[in-house]
Copies of this chain bind each other. A is one copy, B any other.
């Protein structure tokens, strides 16, 4: 935790506003296509691990532990840029998506359900995301 304590005191780190659970939402966008791949969460340790490895490390809220994206699938996300929004409470990361697959369902992007916006008959339809 030495490293975390050192980092926590730094000005850039203090600009980040963590929520009441100590988390911040992180949007992962593919660097070349600009496709939005997924949204996940990081805590302090996940962000530091991300910067340390140069690959996305999230906090898994369901498993309550650090989740090095791709550790099981091989679908790592190599970090190409890290951005903070105007009020400091959301991160955007631009990544090279190894294998082109971000979703655990095997699709390119997690946002593969599009709302058919017709009154009375609205429904989610599966689309190809690449």
Contacts and interface: CB of A to CB of B under 8 A. Distances in A.
Copies of this subunit: 2
A11 interface: yes
Given A33-B34, A35-B34, A86 B114 contact: no
B86 A112 contact: yes
Size bin of chain A's contact surface: 35 or more
B33 A83 contact: no
Contacts of A92: 36, 111
Contacts of A11: 123
Contacts of A110: 85-87, 90
B83 A12 contact: no
Please provide the 8 A-B residue pairs with the shortest distance between their CB atoms, ordered closest to farther: A34-B34, A83-B111, A82-B115, A85-B110, A39-B90, A86-B110, A84-B113, A92-B111
19 contacts: A11-B123, A12-B115, A12-B122, A13-B122, A15-B124, A27-B36, A33-B34, A34-B34, A34-B35, A36-B36, A38-B85, A39-B90, A82-B117, A83-B114, A83-B115, A83-B127, A84-B111, A87-B110, A90-B110
Interface of A: 10-13, 15, 25, 27, 29, 33-36, 38-39, 51, 79, 81-87, 90, 92, 103-105, 107, 110-115, 117, 122-124, 127
